[in-house]
Structure 1
């Protein structure tokens, strides 16, 4: 009797899980980020490091007074690693994702320049470039440590 009750439940659960998995495979989680059409650019810091970035919601008048969100990646993380969460934040904020010095599309002139302090200074350089006086930081791993140097 228990088997008869459990078996239909198990089959329904497996079928639902299979359908959900198929839907997840067909869904492109990065499509929303591509539709946002970010401005792609570079900022050269005072020590010659070139920081590559993508800036979202740059032309939205509704966000003119909103505090920007800057994503600060962890060790080896590149700006596109944030693509699944960026659409959520762009609902209310301008968003900047960048590659830390020496990672991804960003360069560094000398490996000895890759320090937490210099990486924190990079965030200052980015905020200065965009004319921002207030920012929200989202950091993971090393990005959280770098954010704490500010």
Structure 2
């Protein structure tokens, strides 16, 4: 009788240790989505705020690739060929630095990010201008990739 009790107690503690070990590994394992959310938010912020009149179409195409839904449709519907041509004629160049970025995963398919940025802009007929801006981004997971679905620049 004592052998059966010992076997059951031993089996109970073995199963319990497996459950606790699995839970510990799961809790301490970093969420890989967070790295992807940070990367996508940074990449989008870069292409949204950096311009190089020599590579305007490439920057625009990359920005479009990093978006989804209504935001992507809005960017596609704008008259970007005129904007790109205007940037080329004015020789607009802009660079940005992300001073800080805060991001969080809301659930398995939604995240938010806020980028605090400094943007430096120059064209052939103007002096260098520096502005600070904040980009509020909502991201959605689409086919296992995080994409920016809404944007509020301030």
TM-score by length of 1: 0.31
Greater share of strand residues, 1 or 2?
2
